[in-house]
Every structure is written in C-alpha cells, then in structure tokens.
C-alpha cells in the first residue's frame, strides 16, 4: 500500500528556482495515435482489420499479414509482469533527477509484450498487472504498470504524480466564483486536497449566492479579478502569479442568441471579450510565471484548465455567437498548449454539454450538474488528461462530430441537438 505523501516543506525564497528537464519526447507520426488516446484517458493499440492481430510498437503494416488496415482500438491492459529492473543510473537529465526508476516487461493478454514504468505498489515478477497509458511531462504517451486492484493513496506514487496534475498540496486559481460552476470547481479542488484556492470575483460589492459560504472555507481566498479588464488581470498576476500551480479559467459570458435574433454586435463583442480575450489576457499575465515554476519542487506549477464547450466543435445555432466565441477560445487554447508544452505544463480543455444553469433553462434534459462538471475536472487533473468531454450530451456530440462533422452541422441547422 502506498504511503500518503507528506506535506511538502515551504520553499526557501533565497534558493534559485530550477529549470525543467523533460523526458525524451520524440515520437513518429504513427505512434501519435497512442498519445491521442492517452490525452483523453484511453489505452489503445493498433488492431489489424484483416487478421485481428494486436500491434505493439505502432507500425505502418501488420506484423502478421502485412495488411495496411490498422485501426486504434481500446484495450483492457490486463497482463502479466514477466520481469522487472530498477534504473539507478541514467545519462538523461530528466531521469537522472528522479532515480531510482522501476521498469518492467509485461505480456498483455491481448498478445504483445510491452515495456512499462512500474507503479510502486507493483510487487516483484511474476504477477498480474494492469497496463494504462498516461501522458508524461513532455506530453507524449508512456505505458504504466498498475496493480490489479486500486488501493488508497495510489495517486501519491512519486512516478505517477509526475504524469498527472493532482491538486493535492497545490495552490489553484479559479478565475470566476460568481457562477455555480466556478463555486463547484473551487469546492472540488478543496476536497481534492488543494492548499489554497483563490477565487476571482469581478464585482466584490455584490452579495452573490453561495459566495459567502465558499469564502468561509479555510482554504479559499476571494480575490478581485475581472478577465475583461487588463489592469485587473495584471494586478492579480503581480500579486499571486508566482504562487499559482493550477489555473482554472471558469470565466465565461453566455447569451442565447444566433445572428438574426438580435440586432447589433454588442452581445457578441461582450462574449468575445470574456470567452476569448479574457483567456488571452490570463495567458499573457499568468503564463510566464507558470512556465518558470514547472520544476519548483514536489508541488510545482503543473496545469492550466480552460472551460470551453462542446459547442466549440460545431456551432449550435440557438447559441450561435456563444458557440463562435468558444470556437475562437479553443483555437487559442491549442496555441497555449503548444507554448506550455516545452515547460511541462499540462493544458486541459474541458468540453461540457449544456450545464444546468440559467442560460440553458429552456433546453430539455439531460443537462450537466455543476458538481459533476467540477468532479470531472479534478479527475482529469489527477489522471493527466488533455481533453475531457463530461456528460452524455458532450459524449454524443463528440461521437457524431468524429463520425461526420458535415452531417452534425446539417442536423444542428435543422433543429437537432
């Protein structure tokens, strides 16, 4: 059983902040299929469409029948640990800083044998294990051997913590606490063990529902933050930017209009001001400090979370301008991810379906409860996922969008949802 991770000591402000060293990240184009699945929390391998043989390592043609019809398919990961070793020396800077490091050879029930990183609770070979795929600090997929059964404090494993962005003992900023979603995210982070949760509110003079109860939590501190005001963002970044380990951008402006339903561009500009330019302001103000603290001890800066919408994938005409603003934010978030990756900072994009709030009152169920959305964000942080689609509606949209984006567009234009 894993020993609970002790609270990290307070940082000595006199000491120099170390720079991040990333694990080797070079991957061929074929192997990126493994990374794409791991980014959404799945372990997939190539399976031959002609003979059914499971492939590892990834390749261009089947190793049995030389067929080119290889498709990525989910795997259970069940297998047997055949052998293990402990790495006590490495010329690679990343692993040299983290020695000793356990490795093992696992024969999967599906057929292939794979080399994996071993969780500390996996005993000596031979024994049954469960293989999963995770993203490492470089954003590339690696395979990890887990014990067959979950045990308490598994997430505190030193190697596994490197692969995720667990909020435990970390300091987080939730950019907007006036909404039910923002408040639920703050509570979920506290429950997950965050040391400090700063919660932004743009209008401190308003007595908003739930905010007083949230502020009563010992880990929560309310801070003034208006993402539509560059000065407000800059002042807060100057005050706490060097302390934030996880930034969760929950700020959004949502109005239920298309193009012809409302005259003028004021509403669309306001949505872009918060949903797109707000993200841009936050990235410019807080991004450099996050990148600079990516190797700052056990509780280093680790993740940036963007609350987007499944409407960013395909425009939902009844919420047309909101959909457009989220699509713009998605494009910006992809740029942010590319800039954060060299520092080992995980950028997590969240694509919920309709949330059970005031702007979706007229939509029929199913709708996503704010608490369920918050729980999915925390789980994604713990598992080191890059993209998450919480809720039944989001999962259905994603499936239809991947199957045929043009068909989904026509269905939505015809009044489908």
Q: Can you give the pLDDT at residue 9?
A: 78
Q: Can you give the pLDDT at residue 152?
A: 81
171-413: CATH number = 3.40.50.720
Q: Can you give the pLDDT at residue 2?
A: 60
User: How large is the average pLDDT for residues 188-209?
Assistant: 90
Is residue 335 over pLDDT 70?
A: yes
- Per-residue model confidence as pLDDT tens digits over 225-250: 999 999 999 999 999 999 999 999 99
Is residue 47 over pLDDT 60?
A: yes
User: For the residues of 97-125, what is the DSSP string, one character each?
Assistant: TT-SEEEEEEEETTS-EEEEEE-TT--SS
User: How large is the average pLDDT for residues 116-144?
Assistant: 94
Instruction: Band the pLDDT of 27: cuts 50, 70, 90.
Output: confident
User: How large is the average pLDDT for residues 252-261?
Assistant: 85
Nearest to 299 by CA among 150, 221, 192: 192
Instruction: Band the pLDDT of 334: cuts 50, 70, 90.
Output: very high
Higher-pLDDT residue of 14 and 113 is 113
Largest interatomic CA distance in the chain: 70
User: How large is the average pLDDT for residues 297-312?
Assistant: 92
User: How large is the average pLDDT for residues 260-281?
Assistant: 92
Q: Can you give the pLDDT at residue 85?
A: 95
Please give the share of the chain, as a percent, with pLDDT higher than 90: 73
First to last CA, the chain: 46
Between CA 114 and CA 263 the distance in angstroms is 60
User: How large is the average pLDDT for residues 374-399?
Assistant: 95
Q: Can you give the pLDDT at residue 142?
A: 94
Q: Where are the domains of the chain?
A: 32-163, 171-413
Is residue 37 over pLDDT 90?
A: yes
Q: With left for phi above 0 and alpha for psi between -120 and 50, is residue 169 left, alpha or beta?
A: left
Between CA 27 and CA 37 the distance in angstroms is 14
Q: Can you give the pLDDT at residue 276?
A: 97
Q: Can you give the pLDDT at residue 358?
A: 75
Is residue 365 over pLDDT 80?
A: yes
Between CA 294 and CA 302 the distance in angstroms is 6
Q: Can you give the pLDDT at residue 400?
A: 95
Strands in 387-388's sheet, in edge-to-edge order, are 220-224, 196-201, 171-174, 246-249, 303-307, 346-350, 387-388
Higher-pLDDT residue of 46 and 150 is 46
Instruction: Band the pLDDT of 417: cuts 50, 70, 90.
Output: low
Is residue 84 over pLDDT 70?
A: yes
Q: Which of 28-32, 159-163, 250-254 has the highest mean pLDDT?
A: 250-254
Is residue 1 over pLDDT 70?
A: no
Is residue 416 over pLDDT 70?
A: no
Between CA 85 and CA 208 the distance in angstroms is 56
Instruction: Band the pLDDT of 359: cuts 50, 70, 90.
Output: confident
Residue 213, classified by CB atoms within 10 Å of its CB into exposed (0-12), middle (13-18) or buried (19+), is exposed
Q: Can you give the pLDDT at residue 14?
A: 76
């Amino acid at each position: 059983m894993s020993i609970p991770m002790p609270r990290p000591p307070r940082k000595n402000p006199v000491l120099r902040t170390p720079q991040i060293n990333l694990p080797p990240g070079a991957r061929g184009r074929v192997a990126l299929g493994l990374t794409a699945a791991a980014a959404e929390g799945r372990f997939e391998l190539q399976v031959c469409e002609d003979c059914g043989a499971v492939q590892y390592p990834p390749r261009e043609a089947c190793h049995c029948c030389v067929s080119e019809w290889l498709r990525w398919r989910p795997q259970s990961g069940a297998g047997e640990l055949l052998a293990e070793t402990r790495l006590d020396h490495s010329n690679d800077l990343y692993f040299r800083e983290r020695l000793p490091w356990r490795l093992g050879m696992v024969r999967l029930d599906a057929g292939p044998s794979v080399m994996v990183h071993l969780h500390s609770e996996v005993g000596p070979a031979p024994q049954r294990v469960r293989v999963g795929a995770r993203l490492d600090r470089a954003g590339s997929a690696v395979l990890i051997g887990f014990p067959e059964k979950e045990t308490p404090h598994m997430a505190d494993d030193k190697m596994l913590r490197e692969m995720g962005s667990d909020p435990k003992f970390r300091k987080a900023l939730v950019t907007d606490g006036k909404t039910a979603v923002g408040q639920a995210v703050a509570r979920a982070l506290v429950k997950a063990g965050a040391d400090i949760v700063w919660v932004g509110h743009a209008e401190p003079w308003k007595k908003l529902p739930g905010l007083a109860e949230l502020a009563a939590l010992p880990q929560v501190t309310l801070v003034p933050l208006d993402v539509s005001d560059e000065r407000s963002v800059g002042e807060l970044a100057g005050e706490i930017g060097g302390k934030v380990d996880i930034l969760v951008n929950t700020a959004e402006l949502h109005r239920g209009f298309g193009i012809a339903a409302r005259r003028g561009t004021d509403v669309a500009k306001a949505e872009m001001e918060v949903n797109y330019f707000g993200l841009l302001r936050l990235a410019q103000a807080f991004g450099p400090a996050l990148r600079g603290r990516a190797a700052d001890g056990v509780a280093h800066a680790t993740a940036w979370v963007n609350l987007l919408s499944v409407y960013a994938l395909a425009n939902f005409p009844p919420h047309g301008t909101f959909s457009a603003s989220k699509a713009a934010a998605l494009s910006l978030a992809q740029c942010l991810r590319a800039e954060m990756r060299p520092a080992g900072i995980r950028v997590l994009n969240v694509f919920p379906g309709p949330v059970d709030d005031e702007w979706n009152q007229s939509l029929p169920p199913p709708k996503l409860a704010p608490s369920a959305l918050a729980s999915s964000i925390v789980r994604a942080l713990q598992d080191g996922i890059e993209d998450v689609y919480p809720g039944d509606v989001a999962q259905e949209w994603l499936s239809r969008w991947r199957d045929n984006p043009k068909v989904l567009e026509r269905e939505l234009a015809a009044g489908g949802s």
